Amino acid sequence: MAKDLIVVESPAKAKTINKYLGDRYVVKASLGHVRDLPRKRLAVDIENGFIPEYEVIKDKSKVITELKKLAKSAEKIYLAPDPDREGEAIAWHVAEEIKAPGDKIFRVLFNEITKRGVTEAMKSPGKIDMNKVDAQQARRVLDRLVGYQVSPLLGKKVKWGASAGRVQSVALRLVVEREREIQAFTPKEYWSIAAALSADSPPPFIAKILKSDGKKFEILTSAQAEEITAYLKEQAFIVSKVDKKEKKQYPVPPFTTSKLQQEAARKLRFSAKKTMLVAQQLYEGLEIGPEGAVGLITYMRTDSVRVSREAVDEARALITDKYGKNYLPEKPPVYASQKKAQEAHEAIRPTSVGREPDAVKDYLDRDQLALYRLIWNRFLASQMNPAILDMTGVDIQAGRYGFKANGSVVKFPGFRALYMEGRDEEKADKETEEGAESETSVNLPPLRVGDLLKLNELTPRQHFTQPPPKYTEASLVKELEEKGIGRPSTYATIMSTIVDREYVEKKSNAFSPTELGFIVTDLLVESFPDLFNVEFTAKMEDELDEIEEGRMQWVDTVREFYDPFEKSLISAQKGMRNVKREETPTDIECEKCGRKMVIKWGRNGRFLACPGYPECKNTRPLPGEGGEGENAGTQAKEPEATGEKCPKCGSPMVIKSGRFGKFMACSAYPQCKTTRPIPLGVSCPKCGGDLSERRTKGGKPFYGCSNYPKCDFASWDRPVPKECPECKSPYLVEKYSKKDGPYIACPNKDCGYKEEPAGEKTAAGEAGGK
C-alpha cells in the first residue's frame, strides 16, 4: 500500500510528527527553501512583469530528487512547512519542483507540534494559498531590486561589502537619527526638594515639592533651591487633601512575536535572534522523558493574541487548582489583537499548561527553560484576575509651596502572584523621576485633612535633563512594530544584519552607530529620500498585507515601487558622493616627504595618508583610531593578552587588530615580528593542525589551516568546536540561509544534521553583488 508523503521544513519537526502519525506516512524535511533567486545576478525580469527567475538551491538538489521519487509513489502529498507567508512559499516551490498532479497535493498547517495539534490539522487539509505566495514573492523581489542595485553603488562609493536593504536601512536610520538627537542634546539644570515627614503614627514618609502658589513650577538654580529650602524650614507642613481609591491592574495578553522578543530582551538579556532560535526549538519538539518528542509552545511567529477555547479551559482549571478560585475571573479575559493581525494563528502559549516549567526542567537546557518559563508564566497570568491596589494620594501645604506623597498597598495580588511585565529602562527612569505611582507597595501612615506633620529633613537635589536613550533590542523592536517597519518575523535578521555589517555596535545592550553607519545612512537618505523613510516603508508593508488578502496584485505593487526607485537610482549613480575620494586636510606632517597629511576613508574606516600619492605612499592610523595604514589597528587600544608565549622569543602573545581583522602577534614588536592567526579550537580534518580565521585580499573571511601552505584545507563556513551527534564529525560549521538566517550544520554533505536557526522567515534586505 502506497504511503502518503508529508513535507516539513526541519528534521526535528519531521521526527516529532512521524512519531504521532505512524507508518502510514513518510515525513521528510525540505531543510528550508528548496528554490531561490540565484546569488550572482539580479534574476528579476524588469522588462517583462518583474518575473523572478528561480533556481534550485545548490545543496538542495539531493533533497528535490528524493522528494520527487517519494511523490511519484505517494497517494497523497501533504505540504506542511510553517504556517506563514514564507512557509506557504516553500510549499509552493516544493510543489513546482516535484510536478505532481494538483489533486494529489494538499496544504497542512500545524499551529502546534503535539499529537492533538498534528492529528487535528491532518483532518482538514487545504490548498496552497497563492495570495500568501504572491505576498512573499513581492517582498523577495522588492528586496532583491533594492539590495542588488543599491549595494554595489555603496561598494564603489564607500566600502567593498557595504550593503543596503529596503527595511534594514530604515532601521539603521532610526538608530542614527536617535544618536544625532543625543549628540545635539544640551542638558539643562533643575532641582528637586524632598521633605522627610512624620505623622502621629508610623511610618515616616517622603513628599516631593510640586507647586508654588497653587501652580506647578520648576526650580532651575542652586540659589533658588537654597532660598526655598530656607523658607520651608520656617513653615508648618499641614495635610490639605487625602485622596483614596481602589485601582485594578489588569494582566497583559499572552505573547505575540514582537512582545516575546521585547520581554526576553528585558528579562533574559536575549537578543531577538537568540529568542527566535530557542523558541523554534520549543515549537518543533524536544525529548521530554517518557513522553518522547513533543512541541512545548505554539507557533512562534504571530501577531495575534487569540487563544483556543481548549487552552483557556485547561488554564482555568490549573489556576483554580494551584492558586484558588479567588484568582479565577468569572469569565475568561478577551484580548484585542492589532488591526492587521492574522487571527488564523494563536498567541504564543504553552501547548499544555499541564507541562509546568519545573516538571520539564530536567529535559531542557538553561536557555530553553528560561524562555519556556517566561511564555508559560505570561500565558497563565493572562487568564487570571486583576490585581487590586489601594492607592493614596496626599497633598501637603507648607506656606506658599505644595508637596505630594503617593502610597500604594497591594490589597489582592491577582496575576501579579505569577508574572509582571518588564519595563524599558528609559520608561522606568522617567516614571521614577516624575514621582509616578509605584507598582510596589509604599505605605503611608493614617492621615486626615488638617493634620500637622513633623519635618525631619529637607533634601534639595540637583538634576540635569537627560537625552533620549539609545535604542536597545527591546526598544528598537517596539519602535519598528509601532511604526510598521518590517514584520516581527524579520526583526531578528534586521538587527543582526546592521551589527554584522558594522553599521552599529552593541554596547551595554544598547545600539550605537559606527562612523560607517552614519556615512551609509547619510548617502542613502540624500540619494533616495522617498525610499529609505519610515512612512514609505510602512506603506509597503501595508501593501504586502493587501496582496495577502487578495486585494492587490503583486506585480502592480512592485511596478508602483520600481518606477520612482529607478529614477532615484540613475540619479544616485551619477551624483552620490564618493567618500573613498574625499580628503580632509590636517596639520600632521608626513615623516617621509614633509607634506601635510590628509584624512581619507578606507575599508576599515578613516586613516591618514600622504597627498603625494603615488610618489609617496605613506599611510598611518588616525591617532586614537584603528583605521588603515601600515600599522593599522595597533594604536587603537591596549592589546588583549592570550596567555600564550611567542614560539620565537618567548614573549607573551597578544591579540591585535589590522586591516584584515584580529590576529595574534608578539608583544615584543618591532624587535620580534612573529604573527599568527587566532585558532578556533577546531583541528584541521585534513592534517590535524589548528583551524583559524583568515582573509582574502579583498577582505572576505575564510577559514584555513595553520599549516598552510603545506596543508591547503579551506572553508567559507566558520567551524564550531562541537561534535555532530549523528555522524560524529569532530566539528560543525556556521552557515547562513536567506530564509532562516544563521544556523549550525554538519559539514558532511551526506549527513544533513542541522541545529534549527532562529528562523527568520523573510530576507530582510540583500547584500550586494554576490
Angle at 277 between CA 276 and CA 281, to 5 degrees: 110
The residue from 299, 471, 562, 731 that is catalytic is 299
Tell which residue, 475, 579, 471, 476, has the closest CA to residue 519. 579
The candidate with the shortest Cα–Cα distance to 480, out of 537, 548, 422, is: 537
Sign of CA dihedral 635, 637, 638, 643: negative
End-to-end CA distance of the chain: give it in Å, rounded: 47
Q: Which helix (H) or strand (E) element contains residue 690?
A: strand 690-695
Q: Is there a catalytic annotation at residue 299?
A: yes
The residues that bridge with 219 in the sheet, in sequence order, are: 191
User: Between helices 257-268 and 272-284, what is the axis angle to 10°?
Assistant: 110
Rounded Cα–Cα distance for residues 744 and 489 (Å): 20
The DSSP secondary-structure symbol of 637 reads S
What CA–CA distances, in Å, run from 156 to 61, 149, 159, 500? 35, 12, 7, 20
Q: Which amino acid is at 687?
A: C
- Name the amino acid, one letter, at 645: K
Q: In sequence order, which ranges of 435-511 are alpha helices (DSSP H)?
A: 473-483, 488-500
Look at residues 701, 733, 709 and name the one whose alpha carbon lies nearest to residue 720.
Answer: 733
* Burial zone of 591 (CB within 10 Å; 0-12 exposed, 13-18 middle, 19+ buried): exposed
Of residues 357, 374, 296, the one with CA closest to residue 322: 357
Give the cell for residue 216.
506647578
SS3 665: strand
**What does the alpha-carbon distance between residue 237 and residue 205 come to, in Å, rounded to a whole number?**
13
Query: Would you state the cell numbers that stand for residue 76, as one nine-digit string?
Result: 497523497
**Would you list the DSSP string of 695-718?**
E-TTS-EEEEETTTTT---EESSE
Alpha carbon distance 621, 579 (integer Å): 18
Cβ count within 10 A of residue 562: 18
DSSP line for 394-431: EEEEETTEEEEEEEEEEEE-GGGGT------HHHHHHH
Specify the residue for cell string 528560561: 370
DSSP-derived letter for residue 655 is E
CA 486 to chain centre: 12
Q: At which residue does the C-alpha cell 516538571 appear?
A: 359
Q: For residue 714, what is its C-alpha cell?
A: 579551506
Which DSSP symbol is given to 720?
A: E
| CA torsion, ordered 702, 704, 706, 711, to nearest 10 deg | -150
Please give the backbone phi and psi of residue 237, each rounded to the nearest 5 degrees, phi first.
-100, 110
**DSSP-assigned states of every residue in 527-584:** H-TTTSSHHHHHHHHHHHHHHHTTSS-HHHHHHHHHHHHHHHHHHHHHHS--GGG--E
Pairing, β 105-107 against β 51-52:
unpaired
- Active site residues per annotation: 299
